[in-house]
Structure formats: structure tokens, C-alpha cells
Amino acid sequence: MSSRAPSLPLRWHLVRLAVGTLLPAVVFAAIVVFQLARLERQDAERRVVRSARALAAAFEREMSGSIRTLQALAESDHLDHGDLEAFYAQCERVRRTQPAWKQVLLISTDGRLLLNTSYAWGTPLPPVAEQGSFARVLETHQPIVGDIAVGRGARRALAFPVRVPVMRGGALRYVLTAVITPESLTDIVASPSAESEEWTRTLVDQQGKVAARTRDPVRFVGQPATPSFQRNTRASLEGVYSDVSMDGEPVYVAFSRSQPSDWTAAVVSPRRLLDAPVADSMLAMGGLGLVLLLASTGGAWFISRRLERSITQASEAAAALAQGNPPHLEPSGVRELEQLGEALERSGQLLRERERERDANLAAAETARAAAVEATRAKDVFLAMLGHELRNPLAPIVTSMEVLRRRGLAQTPEHEVIARQLRHVVRLVDDLLDMARLARGQLSLHREPLELSSVSSRAVEAATPLIERRRHVLETDVPSSGLPVLGDADRLTQVIANLLTNAAKYTPPGGHIRLRAGALDGGIGLVVEDDGQGLARELIPRLFEPFIQGPRTLDRSEGGLGIGLALVRSLVEEHGGRVEAHSDGPGQGSRFTVWLPRHAQAEAPRPQEPRREPVPLEAATARENRIRVLVVDDNVDAAEALAELLDMSGYEVAVAHDCPQALERADAFRPEVALLDIGLPLVDGYGVAERLRERLGGASPVFAALTGFSQDGDRSRSQAAGFRHHFVKPIDIDELIAFLESLRSARSGAA
């Protein structure tokens, strides 16, 4: 006999209830506060990066102005005539108009300094101080911003050159240089507002030397930046990382490299400025949560004392009733305990006891009925959700198979088996969704007058691959006219195809299947017969119920879920008809008869939809101006496989897996088409489309939904949200390419 768990007083149960109820709320609040603080920190990081980017742009504008002035000076006629003394005077006049320039130099291609405005004309000149940028001008014939170097003059001052080539007749004649002091960069790095007064703004040259700094410039200008700074800023053009400043303080460094000068602008902020919001928020939330837990525990402890007294009295009254004595309870402040006392007093009367027992039985029966109804509803919801969730893993598998096929790697029998079985799984998922919709009354029919022969021919086409694979002989006897019905062509095709597929599955290879139709009982009858394994008599009454199947072999090579015939009955009844099954027994074959009401007016057979042929890979790739497609899907496999398939089909593709990535990709990629998964985390596909429109404005792409939700309401919602097309997973690549090509045609027409 198992031992009983130790019991606890009521007060401890109340304490556990209070703590268990409040603790998740406190944890959830802490998570929310942490996320908000983290978002605030990310916003601060973005502000610092923007500041670094603005600093780099300001430096580049300043250098561009100096380069333009030097280029204008390089066109001087004095250089054409070789009159360097007159050119010296011209350089001196220009230098006085440029506050940032310390001196102007003219250097020959062999490295000799021909003039220096800091020295009188004709006096001996020192050699060129910074040779690296001079060599780059000789090599590239392009303007160059050099690095910080110590001058060769008596003052040994720090400066950096801005050099431009002097070209004559397509050949390099001289190198004209403006020497700029780091002090002239003070206004560029100065903090633009009081908001950033704790930030340190820095300019660093290509060799990693500090050229300008807002804090303690005398100490650090001309010094090399820290190795970690040089390593991180060389790795990318822009970013944020944590470091230790040259002052030895823990900081976050936001940097941006200017182009084409390739100098680095950095904004350094103390870590406490970005980390403090998160730490303070979590500390405050922890303190508040602790106070709430203590308060709730104390309140539960106090209230439990009153409850314990009332329950003890009720226990004593029940014991007295068991001994045949009249129960007695003191008035209680707890309504439930007051009712318990009254019930104990009434329980002494036999008649009332039987009435109470009857009421309890009725209540139990009602509870059981409600539970059965809820179980049925839960089953329908589960089927719908299962069908939807199965589409997500099917999408990358279907797309990957198409990629293999287009690469020419899917020609083996094994690939054909995979493709065939994959189509089988997709059909099972569709059947699940149809059953769920029928159970909830959400399956709508699009009725129109049509001839039964038009839908039967489409059904035969759909079932032919399985019939041929199992080597069956199919005979059809359906008149091309004279059998008018009012119905949904797609659903009636599904009914006939399900019956033919069912016959092919349950008929041994090499069997015979017959499809015939004609007038029957004032309506139209359609019969599917086979000479297969037949049906047991006890199975026929339950054959059209969901998940009911006849005996199968263990291999189940063409297995299903047992919902095909249930779908057939539901769809036929939705059309006002009926379906019946007959068999003479196991091994005697089976016959399924569908009766439909005749429609008054016959219509010509509905033309079959033209089969979409895949867009040839070579033709798509050869097109100019490839369409840029942004694929946004949190299913990484599905997104990558679809991107690869689109790339093979001649489109330029970018991939993102959530809203922030989509916005980031869109800024640089500028897509013309955006395929958005509706079920994205945090921000769904509708939200991503809205944010892309806000960010790109008139340059927004054409939006198409990519989702596992396929009901009419889902399509209406995506259309209302501005989506041009609604693709259901697993996606039909031919349908997608046809859509993209229609956009290409529209774009060409607009052009």
C-alpha cells in the first residue's frame, strides 16, 4: 500500500497559492521591463552610430573642400609655363583664404620639394615628411588624404597632408599638397549638443593615429589608438563594440569609416550610460516584486487563521452528523462554509438527501455531455491547426526538391519516389484542412452550371498517375453532354478523384476500375466500380465516418488517414446529393454510387485551366534588369530554399527572418517584390509590410503573402492589407514565377 503524502495546514496552502499566483506575474513584468530597457539601449546605440556617421560625413565634406580648392589651384597657367615663383605667390594668396591650411607644397614626381609657402622663395627646403600618401598619388593619380606625421621643420609640429595630382597632357607633372594641422579639426569633432556632452568624439587616420579628440587632445593627438580599436574598425565600415578607452575607462565605441579618405570617426560613450537603464529597471522590478510577495504572503497567512477556525467547526459538525447527532455551526464570514453548515443540517433528512443525490447525477450527466462537446470541438480545432502547421515543414521540402530538379540532380528513381510520396503528404494535409472546415461549417462552395463530364475528365487526370503505377485498367463511360449539374467544379472533381484513388489503393495491381455516369432516380448517378479486395458487411455502415478504413496490409504503401470517403460524403451532401457503397464481401470488389440532382440548364463543358509551364532557367537568367525579391520567413530552411530556387530562376534575392532583418535588408537591397510570411514572430507579415511602406515610401515593393493559412478569410485579410497575391505553403513555384513575370511585364510596359 502506497504511503500518503504528508498533509499541510490550510495556511501553507494559501501561502503557496498566493506566491504561485503572483510570482509568474512578477517574472513576466520583469521580462517586459528588461525588454523595454534593452530596446531603449538599442535606440541609444543607434543614436551614437548616427553621431559617428555624421562626424565622418563632416570630415569628408571638409576634406572635399580642400581637394576642390587644390584641384582649382593645380590648373594654374604658371605651372604650364614653369613659372614656379609666380605660382608660389598664387599659392600663398590661396592659403590665406583657407584657415585650415598651414602651408602649401609643390613636389616633383621624383620626391623633391619645389616650394613650401612656410619658407621664403629660394631658401633651402626640408624633405617631404609623409611619404606614404605621396607614393599613393604617384600610383593612383587620385587625390589622397594622408596620415598624421611629425613635420620636418624646426617646430616638429603634427600635421597631415591633402594631396592632388597635377596632370598635364595625361601625364603626372607634380603633386600639389595642402598641409593641415590637427587643431583645424577641432570644430568638426566638437559635440553638436548638450545631450552628448559625456561622449568623446575622435578622428583617427588610416594608420590608426588619433588626429582630433574632444577630450584631452593635447595628450592623445598623434598617439596610436588602442589595438582593439584598430582591429574592430578595420573589420567593418560601421558598428558598435565594447572596449576600454585610452583613458582606461570601460566604454562603448561607435565608429564609421569615411569614404574615400578611409579615416575613422568614432564616438565613445561610458558603458554606464547604456547599461544603467537595464540595471536600474531590473533592480527596481526585483525590489517591487519582493515587496509584493511579502505582502501577499502575509495577507494569506492572516486570512488563513479565520478560515481554519470555520473549517474546524465544519469538520466537528460533520463528525457529529456521522454519529447521529444534530450538527451545529457558528456563523462564519465565509459564504462557502456557511453553505456547508446548512447542507450538513439538511443532510439529516432522508428525502432531501435523495433529491440532492438526483441533482448530483443530473449535474454529472450534463458535465459529461459538455465534456463530449468540448472534446469534439477540440478535435476539429486540432485538425485545422495540424493541417496548418504541417505546411511549414512541407514548404522547404517541396522547394528543395524543385531546386534539385532544376539543377538536374533529381533524375534518379529515388528522387521520383520522394516527389511522389511528398505529393501524397500534401494531399493528406489538404484533406485534413477540408475536414476541419466542413466540421466547423466554414467550407464554402462556388456553384455554377456545368456538365458532369468536365469534372470527371479532370478527376481522371488527377488519379491517372496512381492508376498507371499500380497497372490498373480504367474504363470510362461518361457522356460528354446531357448530365447537367449545379455545383463547385473543384469540389466535384475532388469527390470523383477520391473515389478513383480509393479504388486504385484497395485493388491489387493489374485490376480493373470502371467509371460510368447516367440518369438515375430523376437525377444523375455516377458509379465507380473495382474488382479489388471488397468490403466486409459490418464495415459498410461506418465506411463514410472520419478515420474509418478497411483492412490494410502492414506496408500501407498507398496509405491515408481514412478521411477521403468522409470528405466525399460531406461534399456530396453539400451539393444536395448522396453517396452509397456496396460490396458482395471480401475479395468481391466494391461499388460506390453518387447521386446528384439534375440542373435545369446544361452548360458546355468547363474548359480545363491551362497548365503552367515552368519558366526556363536559361531564359529567366538571360533577362536584363533582374527583379529584386525580398523573402521574409522565420522558417530558415524554407526561406533559404526558396531564395536559392528564385536565384536559379534569374531573380536577385535577399533573405530576412524577422521584422528588424527585413527593414535592414530593405534599406540596402531596395526590393521590387517582398514575399512576406504572415506568421512571423513579434511582428507579423502585415506589420512588416506597414513598416516597409513607412520606411521606403514611394519606393515600396509589391507585397505578396507567403503563409500556411489558406481560408477565404485569410485571403480577404491579405488583400485588404495591400498584398497583391496570397501564396499558400508549400508554394507552387510555377505560380510564383508567373506572378513575378507579370510584374516584369508591367514594369516594362510602364517604362
Quote the number of domains for the chain.
Answer: 5
Categorize the per-residue pLDDT at 337 as very low, low, confident or very high, splitting at 50, 70 and 90: low
Averaged pLDDT, 293-300: 69
Number of Cβ within a 10 Å radius of residue 634: 16
pLDDT of residue 383: 55
For residue 384, pLDDT over 60 is answered with no
Per DSSP, which regions of 149-286 are E strands? 149-150, 158-168, 171-180, 200-204, 210-213, 238-244, 250-257, 264-270
Band of the pLDDT at 595, cuts 50, 70, 90? Answer: very high
Lowest mean pLDDT among 335-339, 594-598, 722-726: 335-339
CB-count exposure of residue 470 (10 Å: 0-12, 13-18, 19+): middle
Kindly report the number of other CB atoms within 10 A of residue 691's CB atom. Answer: 16
Is residue 218 domain-shared with residue 255, that is, in the same domain? yes
Q: What is the pLDDT of residue 143?
A: 93
Residues 547 and 690 in one domain: no
Question: Quick one: three-class SS letters along 264-300?
Answer: EEEEEEEHHHHHHHHHHHHHHHHHHHHHHHHHHHHHH
Q: Higher pLDDT residue, 286 or 268?
A: 268
Residue 612 domain flag: no
Residues 459 and 501 in one domain: yes
Q: Would 420 be classed as within a structural domain? A: no
| Judgement on whether residues 267 and 199 belong to the same structural domain of the protein | yes
> What is the pLDDT confidence band of residue 612, given thresholds at 50, 70 and 90?
very low
User: Does the residue 419 lie in any domain?
Assistant: no
Q: Does the residue 422 lie in any domain?
A: no
Query: Are residues 647 and 742 both part of a single domain?
Result: yes
pLDDT score for 221: 85
Q: At what angle do helices 350-407 and 636-648 cross, to 10 degrees?
A: 30
Share of the chain above pLDDT 90, in %: 21
Among the ranges given (60-69, 428-437, 674-683), the one the predictor scored with the smallest mean pLDDT: 428-437
pLDDT tier for residue 376 given thresholds of 50, 70 and 90? low
Say how far apart CA 429 and CA 730 lie, in whole Å: 11
pLDDT over 60 at 294, yes or no:
yes
538-542, 552-556, 710-714: which range is least confident on average? 552-556
Q: Do residues 684 and 654 lie in contact, with contact meaning Cβ atoms separated by under 8 Å?
A: no
Q: So what's the pLDDT on residue 193?
A: 55
Same domain, 276 and 307: yes
168 shares its domain with 52: yes
Question: Do 459 and 580 have their domain in common?
Answer: yes
Q: What is the 3-state composition of the chain as percent helix, strand, coil, each rounded to the nearest 5?
A: 50, 20, 30
Picking from 286, 311, 330, the residue at the C-terminal end of a domain is 330
Give 89-142 as a DSSP string: HHHHHHHHT-TTEEEEEEEETTS-EEEETTS-TTS--PPPS-HHHHHHHHHH-S
Return the CATH number at 490: 3.30.565.10
Give percent of the chain with pLDDT exceeding 70: 69
Q: Each residue of 445-501: pLDDT tens digit? A: 778 999 999 999 988 988 888 898 889 999 999 998 889 999 988 889 989 988 998
Residue 43 has pLDDT above 50, yes or no: yes
Q: Which of 245, 271, 297 is the last residue of a domain?
A: 271
Average pLDDT over residues 660-675: 92
305 and 197: one domain? Answer: no
Tell me the pLDDT band of 606, cut-offs 50, 70 and 90.
Answer: very low
Query: What pLDDT does 192 receive?
Result: 62
Report the CATH number that the domain containing residue 43 is assigned in CATH: 3.30.450.20
213 with 138, same domain: the answer is: no
For residue 353, give its domain range: 335-382
More confident residue, 315 or 60: 60
User: For 107-125, what is each residue's pLDDT tens digit?
Assistant: 998 989 999 888 888 888 8
> Are β-strands 171-180 and 158-168 bridged in parallel, bridged antiparallel, or unpaired?
antiparallel
Answer yes or no: are the C-beta atoms of 137 and 175 closer than 8 Å.
yes
Q: Which of 550, 553, 510, 555 is closest to 530 using CA atoms?
A: 510
The answer to whether residues 634 and 728 belong to one domain is yes
What is the rounded CA–CA span in Å between residue 99 and residue 648?
57
Lowest mean pLDDT, pick from 171-185, 422-436, 568-582: 422-436
Q: Say what the pLDDT of residue 176 is.
A: 92
Confidence category of residue 386, pLDDT binned at 50, 70, 90: low
Provide mean pLDDT across the span 428-456: 71
Q: Give the CA dihedral 296, 299, 300, 301, nearest 10 degrees.
A: 120
- Give pTM, 2 decimals: 0.39
Q: Which of 30-34, 616-620, 668-672, 697-701 is predicted with the least confidence, judged by mean pLDDT?
A: 616-620
Report the mean per-residue pLDDT for the chain: 79
User: Does residue 618 form part of some domain?
Assistant: no
182 DSSP 8-state letter: G
- DSSP, residue by residue, 644-677: HHHHHTT-EEEEESSHHHHHHHHHHH--SEEEEE
Query: Which among 225, 252, 271 is the end of a domain?
Result: 271
Beta partners for residue 596, in sequence order:
524
Does the pLDDT of residue 631 top 90, yes or no? yes
Residue 427 lies in a domain: no
Q: Name the strand (E) or helix (H) holding 593.
A: strand 590-596
pLDDT at 554: 34
Q: Which of 62, 261, 237 is nearest to 142 (CA)?
A: 261
Structure confidence at residue 469 (pLDDT): 87
Comparing C-alpha atoms, which of 734, 729, 732, 675 is closest to residue 429? 729
Instruction: Report yes or no on 540 lying in a domain.
Output: yes
Give the angle 511-515-517 at the CA atoms, nearest 5°: 160
Q: Looking at the structure, tell me whether residues 177 and 197 fall in a common domain.
A: no
Question: What's the pLDDT score for residue 287?
Answer: 74
Residue 553 has pLDDT above 50, yes or no: no
- Please give the pLDDT value at position 293: 67
Q: Does the pLDDT value for residue 375 go beyond 90? A: no
DSSP conformation letters of 298-353: HHHHHHHHHHHHHHHHHHHHHHHHHTTPPP-----S-HHHHHHHHHHHHTTSHHHH
Of residues 283 and 62, more confidence is placed in 62
Comparison of pLDDT for 263 and 409, the residue scoring more? 263
pLDDT at 618 exceeding the cut of 50: no
Q: Is the Cβ–Cβ distance between 296 and 63 less than 8 Å?
A: no
Q: Is residue 163 part of a domain?
A: yes
